[in-house]
Chains A and B, each alone.
Chain A
Amino acid sequence: MPIAQWLREHVFLFEGSTRSVALLRVLAVCVAWSRLGATLVPDGEMGAMAWATSMVFWASTSLMFVGLFSQPASLAVGLTTWVVYANHGDFGTADLHAHHVLAQALLCCLLSLTPCGRSFSVDRWLQGSRALPERGELWGLRLLQMQLVVLYAGAVWEKSYAGWLSGDRMLQVLMNIYLGSDPTGWLTQVVAVSIAWGTVFAEGGLALAVLFAPSFRSRLGAYLFGCTFHGLVYFLTPVSTFTATMAVWLLVLLPTDDVHRITERLLRPTKGQAPSTKSRQLPFLLGAAVLLLLPIYGRLVPTVPDGSGFMTLGEDVCEVRWPDGPAVAGTRRDVHKKVCGRPDLPSNPAIRCVVEGSWTDTKLTKLCRRLPKTAKRRESAR
């Protein structure tokens, strides 16, 4: 078959069910919220551009999630994610300039080129009986698949150097996370080389599966393999949301009509035996009693929260005021970062912090003493 004809049939005019791209749409938003939600909550330290990005992000992700103006919303989510990636300094954290954020932006931008609002969406519900069939031109899906191939092929290319293939780079990772700095033996070297080569083969295999896997079974197998591979990386190393992004993105492996068939089967009502009418009064009353007693139990046992929640939220705040300057406020840790070790700031500010529930005046030396290491409250470990 001539290439031009093949491209026409299988790419430019490729049609299929829109349910898989609709699922991608919903799940991509969940990942976006997970990664960027905390960062993009507006606060007093954000500049105007960051505020605007935040507003657009929350509006567009909400629309994308429920499927209202789905394609423009997807584009807006992709663009705001890219803005966060490119201008990470405005959002206060350098780890936003990372591959997993860029991957998220690409996914959403490419989704906007698909009819992702034609299924599982408010767009569809509003159209009522005028709704188009759940089939559409899916050249955008082909772009998603091609980007996936490029992503994995690029990963293989990036790893094709002596430092990786010899296992040395993986050994560094293992020593950094698990083994410490003591010299390692031959067994560890074998494990490192195996993981290094295994990663290359896994990523290469996934790239080839997107292009050449012939059947639904083989593609499903590749999808499950891909999720397991990324899941293992997430389990063993301190990575962020790339695993979740890829678990969503890899859905493009599955043939669209098979996804439609599966969802159809899950949605189709099933006739079955009438539910049992046996009384469940006793288990209900027992369960309700346990649930009602839990907050009281929590107050008696120090290891269990008292059930009311958030009693310590905000109880570590400090406020710093200068006679001729703006005031600084926030958690003790945040104020510490803003004020301590800053010779440019005027001296002798008025400082007060909440200590054991009450505002207490304190001095700069006391505020700026070394803070004990505790888990950072909102730093994501994802």
Chain B
Amino acid sequence: MRPWETIGSTRSLGLARIFLGLLTYAEVLAMLRPAHHLQHLDIMALSGIPWLSVPALIVGWHARSAAAVTGITLLALHTWGGMQGLTGAGLPWASVTIWELAITLCVLALTPCGRSFSVDRWLAPEAERAPLWGHALIRVHTSVIFGALAVSHLTPLWWSGERLARMGMARHGVPIEAGPLMSTMAVIWVALELLCCAAPWVARQRLVPIGLGFVLLQYPMLYTGTWSLHAAVLLLLCLDPDSVDRTIQDLSPQR
């Protein structure tokens, strides 16, 4: 079946919506406090919007609108703040983590993410099956993220293991020499990134767990922060929604 013709369960999207909302809360909201932007009233005004849209996203109230508003606001802040050379309290505005999270939220707004595990469902229950062309776009987005990462690593500095050695030194505070071991790791790293790029489309049930292990291992190895969890949610979303639905049914038997 073509990606734009797929119909399936919306439960995985509902769970992803909640986790992405929690990630956005953890990653972004603190730096959007008004106390950090007293000198820039325009930024402060824009920063107020996610304080309303992120809780709405988490509980699933007008979920798609909340996702769109949050994503677009973060992109606007990202671009506007970056143009003004601002630094937030914690992370600078030109952060690829926040950029990718914002794109994910915009794509999430194109999916029926409010149809499961949400206040929207409590108020107006609908069948938890819907067209999943938006879900297919999330798979494209996941492939683009990992594909761009792999392409960015096609440099002599990476293949020699030097970049990995430097990242390891920054993270762990010990000298690390770039040598055959680092070089081998660098090659395996790119192979795994390409695997994650293919996982949303090919042999999902087998490749997604491998990709999941790879992105979660990056958390203790490097300064990836919430990017690892974000990538993990994206990979899990790429699993077949109906399989996820069956698993949830198995976990929640009747009383």
Contacts and interface: CB of A to CB of B under 8 A. Distances in A.
Interface in A272-311: 272-273, 275-281, 283-285, 287-288, 291-292, 294-295, 302-311
B209 interface: no
A381 B31 contact: yes
Nearest to A281: B4
A375 B110 contact: no
Interface string A123-158: 011000001011100000000000000000000000
A334 B255 contact: no
B45 interface: no
Interface residues of B, number: 86
A327 interface: yes
Given A269-B128, A309-B152, A357 B157 contact: yes
B140 A292 contact: yes
A204 interface: no
A281 B99 contact: no
Given A287-B140, A303-B79, A313 B92 contact: no
A177 B26 contact: no
Interface in A212-232: 231
B133 A313 contact: no
Given A283-B133, A319-B169, A120 B34 contact: no
Interface stretch (B66-74, B194-202, B221-229, B236-244): B221-229
A185 interface: no
Given A236-B34, A308-B152, A314-B166, A44 B172 contact: yes
B176 A329 contact: yes
Contacts, number: 218
A371 B135 CA distance: 46
Interface in B14-68: 22, 25-26, 29-31, 33-35, 38, 51, 55
A376 interface: yes
B34 A235 contact: yes
Contacts of A260: 255
Nearest to A321: B175
B187 interface: no
Contacts of A133: 255
The number of chain A residues touching the other chain, given as a range, is 35 or more
Given A235-B33, A266-B121, A329-B174, A313 B222 contact: yes
Nearest to B84: A303
Contacts of A311: 152
A317 B169 contact: yes
B166 to A, nearest CB: 4
A267 interface: yes
A237 B4 CA distance: 46
Contact of A295 (B137, B148, B169, B248): B148
Given A267-B252, A270-B126, A375-B88, A44 B173 contact: yes
Contacts of B91: 375, 377, 381
B219 A314 contact: no
B131 to A, nearest CB: 6
B137 A284 contact: yes
Nearest to B85: A303
Contacts of B224: 310
Interface stretch (A34-42, A76-84, A163-171, A362-370): A34-42
A15 B225 CA distance: 40
A178 B35 contact: yes
Interface of A is mostly: loop
Contacts of A266: 116-118, 121-122
Contacts of A324: none
Contacts of B83: 303
A294 B225 CA distance: 23
Interface string A348-382: 00000010010000000000000000111111111
A313 B167 contact: yes
B179 interface: no
Given A275-B130, A291-B103, A120 B173 contact: no
A30 to B, nearest CB: 6
Nearest to A375: B87
A38 to B, nearest CB: 7
Interface in B203-242: 219-220, 222-225, 227
A10 to B, nearest CB: 22
A134 B126 contact: no
28 contacts: A34-B26, A44-B172, A45-B173, A58-B220, A266-B118, A266-B121, A270-B126, A272-B126, A275-B7, A275-B130, A280-B4, A280-B5, A284-B137, A291-B144, A292-B144, A303-B79, A305-B94, A308-B96, A308-B148, A310-B224, A313-B222, A314-B163, A316-B170, A328-B173, A329-B174, A378-B223, A381-B88, A382-B26
Interface of A: 30, 34, 37-38, 41-45, 58, 119-121, 124-125, 131, 133-135, 177-178, 231, 234-238, 244, 260, 262, 264-267, 269-273, 275-281, 283-285, 287-288, 291-292, 294-295, 302-311, 313-317, 319, 321, 327-331, 334, 354, 357, 374-382
Interface of B: 2-5, 7, 22, 25-26, 29-31, 33-35, 38, 51, 55, 78-79, 82-83, 87-92, 94-97, 99-100, 103, 107, 110, 116-118, 121-122, 125-131, 133-134, 136-137, 140-141, 144-145, 148-149, 151-152, 157, 163, 166-176, 219-220, 222-225, 227, 248, 250-253, 255
Given A308-B148, A374-B92, 20 more contacts: A43-B171, A125-B250, A133-B255, A236-B33, A238-B30, A266-B122, A275-B129, A280-B133, A283-B4, A304-B99, A305-B95, A305-B96, A307-B148, A314-B163, A314-B167, A329-B173, A329-B174, A330-B172, A375-B90, A381-B88
